[in-house]
Amino acid sequence: MTLQATNEKNWLAFYTKPRQEFKTAELFGNLSIEYYLPTIITLRQWSDRKKKVRVPLFNGYVFARVDEKERLYAVQQESVVKVVSFSGKPSIVPEWQIESLKKMLLDTPDVFVTHGLQTGQQVKITEGPFGGVIGTVKEVNKEKWLSVSVELLNRTVSVKLPLESVIKFVEN
């Protein structure tokens, strides 16, 4: 799917300079460009202390919902390297992947995956803050991790899920 020279807005992934994700998000906000920077809180160790810090989920990427004019303006920003493209055309991130990421990051459950799931199988989460999220099982290990894949960036977000909240997904 590619952008047309219309006012239609689509989600795109913008690749940023190293450690410039928050700056890029702030720039997009100042330019009234709708953006999404998925973040997590992690514990960082320094020589004298430990501290919880908010970091980007995907280093080097900020998502923005833009039309062609906004895309051109966004890539001109100093902190933006380029828009993620395939065959020279900007790659559109499906709305459902952005929504799935948002749902996943609302909460951090510490529960388990249903038995019998196999690597590569698609699943749909039926309840809780992840209700409606569709993911691909990347790995099921002894701790019962279900990994949900965001295909465009070739990155994976892992989350533990309750037995009763996952069903095999069959596309209609």
pLDDT digits (tens, 9 = 90+) for 70-123: 999 999 999 999 999 888 889 999 998 888 778 877 765 432 323 456 677 777
For strands 89-90 and 145-150, give the pairing: unpaired
Name the nearest CA neighbour of 35 among 88, 89, 77: 77
Q: Could you tell me which CATH number the domain at 10-93 has?
A: 3.30.70.940
pLDDT digits (tens, 9 = 90+) for 37-76: 988 777 777 788 888 888 888 889 999 999 999 999 999 9
- What's the CA gap between 101 and 88, in Å, rounded? 26
Name the nearest CA neighbour of 81 among 62, 56, 57: 62
Look at the alpha carbons of 48, 52, 53, 56 in this order and tell me if their dihedral is positive or negative.
positive
Pick the CATH number of 106-168 from 3.40.190.10, 2.30.30.30, 1.20.1260.10, 3.40.50.12280: 2.30.30.30
Global pTM reads 0.64
Would you say how long the chain is, in residues?
A: 172
Q: What is the pLDDT of residue 2?
A: 47
Domain ranges of the chain: 10-93, 106-168
Q: What is the pLDDT of residue 161?
A: 61
- Which residues, including other chains, have CB under 8 Å from residue 4's CB and lie 6 or more apart? 68
Q: What is the pLDDT of residue 134?
A: 73
For residue 49, CA distances in Å to 19, 54, 78, 115 come to 22, 16, 33, 40
Q: What is the pLDDT of residue 113?
A: 29
